[in-house]
Structure 1
C-alpha cells in the first residue's frame, strides 16, 4: 500500500481551551506539500499531531508508512554528539568494540558495518563534512539544522515532516534543503514561510481561522489562485451587502407608505365622513396587510443578513497589516557610516573582521553577505558599538535603529506603549498610541505585553518603537528580519521598506526578501 497521511475531523485547542485547529480533513500522498498560514494558525501544531508528539482533542490521524520529523530547534544535551542526533551512538560504539576485538558473537551479528559510510554520505548530501563524534555544541545553528536534515536522510522515512527547515540557514544551507526536496521521492510535509522553498512544492495547504484549504501547484500558483478567489469573494460580499441595503431601503419605503396611509385613515376617522363600521373594517384589513408585509420584509432582511454572513465567511476577516514610516529627511550626500581598516570580533586572538573598510552615503541599501560564521552579525555589533574594534575607525554619523530576528530592543515584561516610551523618552502617551497605531497596534493592542507577541508581531512592534517617531532614525540595520515572520508579515515589512527613505544595512539569506529590498550594493565578507 502506498505511503499516506490522513487526518479526519481533527481538532486541537491550546491549554487555555482556545480552539486552534477545528475539524480538519486532509490527505497527503507521496508528494511535497507546503503548509502556510499566519503565525499562530497552527502549522507546527499540525505537524506535531501528525508525528504523534501531540494527541488530538478529537478526530483521527492515520499514517501508512514511516515518518520522521525535523523541528525548528534541535534540542540536545551538553555532551551530545552528531551520533546522538542521528540516534545511532550505541550502534557506533558497538562497531568501536568490534574493531578493538572486544565484541562477542551476538554483538558482531548486530553490527551494521555500512553505518559510518551512510552517515558520511547523508552529512555530505547536506553540505557538512564532520565526523559522527563531533560535539553538537561546536556547530552553529545552521550546521545543526543541516545535521538534523542528514539524520532524516539516514532514517529513509516514507514521509518527511519539516518545520521551518531553512530558518537560520545561509544560502548554501537553504540550497541543501531545496536540493534534498527536489530529489525526494517520498512524501514531504513542509511548514514554512520561505517563498523560494515553497516554489518547490507540489501542493500548498493554507491554514486560516476558517480551516484548511488545499491548492495544487507551487507557491506562485497558490498566490494566483488565492488572489482570484479573494477577488470573487469580495465581489460576492459587495453584492450581498448591496442586496441587504436594497432590502433595508425597501423596508423603510414600505414603512413610510404605511405611516402615510395610517395618517390619512386617522384624518378620515376624525372627520367622520364614513360609517364607523366601514372605517373599522378598513382598519382591520390595513393592519392584517401591514402585518403580512412586515413579516415578509423581516424574512427578506434575515435572508439578506445570512447572505452577507455567508459571503464574509469566505473571507478571513483580519486587520490589514500596515507599517507606515515617516520620512527621515536623510540628504543624498550625507555620510551615514564610515569604516576604515577595521579589525575586531569576540575573540581577540582570532578576529572575524579583518582590515575591513566600508562607506555608506545617503539612503543607500547595502546587503552584508557571506556564509554562516563569516562575521556578519559581529560586524553589525562593531558598527553599533556593542563590540569595540581592536583597530581601525568606526564613524557612525546618524542615529540608527537595530532590529535582529529576536527584536532584543523590546523588553518582554513591558507593554508596547511602555516599550515605545522607554525607547523614545520625549514621547507622551498620545504620541506612543498614534505611532503604534500606524503599525497596526490600535487602542488596547498598545497595552499588550511584548513578551506575549508572536515573532511577526514582535518585529512589527520593534519597527514601531524604533521608527514610529517623526523623524525616524536615518539608518535601519536589519539582522535576518524575516526568520520569524509569516508571509503576510514579510509582505508588510517589504512594503514598509519600500516607503522608507533612509539608509538600510541588511543581513538576510532570504532571496525573495533581498529582491524586494533592491539593494544598491552587496558587501560580501567571504570575498
Structure 2
C-alpha cells in the first residue's frame, strides 16, 4: 500500500506547486496519474519514490518503490550495471567465482547467484540483445536508456513500480513490450503518461489539478466519458450564469429607468404643490440616497454573478478557449509536391534501405512514416525537404513551403521572449495589436509576452509554434511532425490534434503513438526497413 497524507510541495523559490494532496493506492492497483503540464505529476511521482521530500505531510509505503524517471541525463556518467544498481553484486559474483570468497562478497551477493543471467534475460526482453553491462549510459539512445530502466523491473522484482512517461522514445516493438508488461504485471503500478493506449490498460485514473486529486474508477476511456459529462454540465452552468447575468443587468437598467421616471414625476407634483425649497432639497437627497442604495444592491448582485461566471470559465479546458486561424487559401489539393523513383541513400554498396523507395506525395495527404530506430526516417525527411540528395534514383520537388517540427520544437529560439518569437514569424507585417490578439488566442496572456522561451514547457512551446504558423501569410504546403507528442501532456496533445485537423495541407508524421495517428486521420503509411 502507498499512502499520501496532506502532502504539500514548495519549489526552491518558495512557489507552492500543490497542497493537501491525499491519496491511497492499494496493493496490485494499476493507476494512471494524469494532469496538465506544470501541475506536478513528475514531482508527485518523485515524492512517492523518495527522490525528493515533501514540504509538508507524510508518505507511507509498505515496500521500496522502483522508479523509472522520464529523463536520464543524470546517469550519463554511469555504466549500465551502475545505473541498474547491480554493479556491486556483479563484482562480488565475479570475485567469488575467481576464488575470492570473502564474507563481504557473500553478503553483497546475498545468494543471488543468477543475477548476471537475469540481467541479460531482462535486457533481451526489451530488445537490448548484446548490450554489455559495462557499456556507458551516455552512449545509448533515449529509447535504449528507457529500456535499460524498464529491464530493471524484472531484475529487482519490486512490489511497487513508478513509471514517468515510459513510452517516450520507444519504437513500436518497445511499446508493445511495455503494454504486455503492464497487462501481465502483478505489481502495484503508478504511471504518468499521455499514451492513450497505455492508459487504457490501467484500472484507475487519478487527475492532478490545482484543485487537488480527483479519482476516476476506470481506464482512460471511462475517464474521458466522465469528463465529457462534466464538461457538458459545466457548459450548462456557464450558459445559465450568462443568462442570469444578462437578466440582472436588464433588471438593473429597467429599475433605474423606472426610478428615474418616478422621481421626475414626484418632483413635478411637489413643484405644483408649492413645496418649500428646504423640503425640496430634503426630498431630493432622500431620492438620491434611495437610488444609490438600489444601485448598490444591483451592483452587488451583478458582481456576484460575474465572479461565479469567471470561476466557471476558468474550469473550461484549454481546447475550448483556443481559436485557430490557418489560412489554407494557397493550397491546391491533389498537386504533386514530391516524387521518388527508386531512391536510396548510402555510400558505395552500403545502402540504408533494403529496397529502393518509390512513392509520391500530393497536397492534402496525411502520411505516417514508420520504422525502427535507425531505419532512416530522419534521412528520408531530409531528402523530401531538400536538405539531402539521394545516393541513387531520381526525385522531383515542386516549389513549396515546408515546416519541420521536431519533438523539442527547435524552431522556437530559446534566446527570445514569447512576443519576440511571434514577431519573427510576422512576415506579413501584421499590426502590433494583431500579434497580441494571436498570442491571446493561443493562451499567451499579457503576463506571458515577456517570458523567455527557454522557460516554456513542451506544451507551451507547441502552442507558440502553432501560433507562429498562423501569423505567417499562408499555411505551409508541407508540415513534418517528428515524434510531436513525446513531451506533451494529454491536454496539449488534444490541442495539437485539433490544430492539425484544421490544417488542409500535406502532413508527414513520424510517431509511435497509434492513438494520435488515428485521431489526425493519417491516410497511408510508409514503412522503412
Q: Does 1:329 align with 2:330?
A: yes
Cα displacement string for residues 223-274 of structure 1 (whole angstroms, at most 9, x for unaligned residues): 1111111211222233234334434444444444443343333333323368
Give aligned pairs, total: 522
- The corresponding residue for 1:501 is 504
- The corresponding residue for 1:370 is 371
- The corresponding residue for 1:83 is 81
Q: CA RMSD in A?
A: 3.4
- The corresponding residue for 1:260 is 261
Alignment CA distance shift 1:337-1:468 (3 Å): farther
CA distance in 2, matches of 1:136, 1:348: 32
CA distance in 1, matches of 2:84, 2:380: 34
Equivalent residue for 2:48, pick from 43, 50, 75: 50
CA distance in 1, matches of 2:348, 2:326: 39
- The corresponding residue for 1:197 is 198
- The corresponding residue for 2:101 is 103
In 1, are the aligned partners of 2:204 and 2:218 still within 8 Å (CA)?
A: yes
- The corresponding residue for 2:177 is 176
Equivalent residue for 2:25, pick from 14, 17, 28: 28
Q: Does 1:68 align with 2:66?
A: yes
Alignment CA distance shift 1:362-1:242 (3 Å): closer
Alignment CA distance shift 1:318-1:343 (3 Å): closer
Q: Does 1:126 align with 2:119?
A: no
- The corresponding residue for 1:459 is 462
CA distance in 2, matches of 1:488, 1:277: 68
Deviation at 1:298, TM superposition (A): 6.7
Q: What is the SS of the residue equivalent to 1:146?
A: helix
CA distance in 1, matches of 2:340, 2:161: 46
CA distance in 2, matches of 1:453, 1:357: 40
- The corresponding residue for 2:421 is 419
Alignment CA distance shift 1:464-1:337 (3 Å): farther
Deviation at 1:219, TM superposition (A): 0.8
Task: Select between 159-168 and 145-154 the one with higher mean Cα deviation.
Answer: 145-154
CA distance in 2, matches of 1:135, 1:414: 35
TM-score by length of 2: 0.86
- The corresponding residue for 1:483 is 486
Q: Does 1:519 align with 2:526?
A: no
Q: What is the SS of the residue equivalent to 1:26?
A: strand
Q: What is the SS of the residue equivalent to 1:363?
A: coil
Alignment CA distance shift 1:101-1:443 (3 Å): same
Deviation at 1:70, TM superposition (A): 0.8
CA distance in 2, matches of 1:193, 1:283: 67
Deviation at 1:336, TM superposition (A): 1.1
Alignment CA distance shift 1:159-1:406 (3 Å): same
In 2, are the aligned partners of 1:81 and 1:134 still within 8 Å (CA)?
A: yes
Q: Which runs of 4+ in 1 moved over 6 A?
A: 273-296, 316-319
Deviation at 1:481, TM superposition (A): 1.0
CA distance in 1, matches of 2:455, 2:25: 33
- The corresponding residue for 1:12 is 9
Deviation at 1:328, TM superposition (A): 5.4
Deviation at 1:91, TM superposition (A): 0.8
CA distance in 2, matches of 1:78, 1:104: 32
- The corresponding residue for 1:232 is 233
- The corresponding residue for 2:408 is 406
Q: What is the SS of the residue equivalent to 1:514?
A: helix
CA distance in 1, matches of 2:18, 2:188: 22
Task: For structure 2, list consecutive stretches of 5 or more residues without a partner in the other structure.
Answer: none
Q: What is the SS of the residue equivalent to 1:40?
A: coil
Deviation at 1:295, TM superposition (A): 7.6
Alignment CA distance shift 1:321-1:68 (3 Å): farther
CA distance in 2, matches of 1:321, 1:287: 46
In 2, are the aligned partners of 1:324 and 1:496 still within 8 Å (CA)?
A: no
CA distance in 2, matches of 1:460, 1:195: 21
Alignment CA distance shift 1:313-1:62 (3 Å): farther
Deviation at 1:190, TM superposition (A): 1.1
Deviation at 1:115, TM superposition (A): 1.0
Q: Does 1:117 align with 2:117?
A: yes
Task: Select between 315-324 and 72-81 the one with higher mean Cα deviation.
Answer: 315-324
CA distance in 2, matches of 1:436, 1:275: 63
Deviation at 1:509, TM superposition (A): 0.3
In 2, are the aligned partners of 1:323 and 1:493 still within 8 Å (CA)?
A: no
- The corresponding residue for 1:382 is 383
In 2, are the aligned partners of 1:82 and 1:136 still within 8 Å (CA)?
A: yes
Task: Select between 385-394 and 171-180 the one with higher mean Cα deviation.
Answer: 385-394
Q: What is the SS of the residue equivalent to 1:482?
A: coil
Task: Select between 472-481 and 371-380 the one with higher mean Cα deviation.
Answer: 371-380
TM-score by length of 1: 0.87
Cα displacement string for residues 59-115 of structure 1 (whole angstroms, at most 9, x for unaligned residues): 332323221211112235556332112101111011111222233355245432121
Deviation at 1:21, TM superposition (A): 1.2
CA distance in 2, matches of 1:414, 1:275: 73
Q: What is the SS of the residue equivalent to 1:205?
A: strand
Deviation at 1:467, TM superposition (A): 5.5
CA distance in 2, matches of 1:495, 1:117: 48
Alignment CA distance shift 1:163-1:385 (3 Å): same
Alignment CA distance shift 1:71-1:323 (3 Å): farther
In 2, are the aligned partners of 1:205 and 1:214 still within 8 Å (CA)?
A: yes
Alignment CA distance shift 1:477-1:309 (3 Å): closer
Alignment CA distance shift 1:136-1:295 (3 Å): closer
CA distance in 2, matches of 1:228, 1:319: 15
In 2, are the aligned partners of 1:467 and 1:473 still within 8 Å (CA)?
A: no
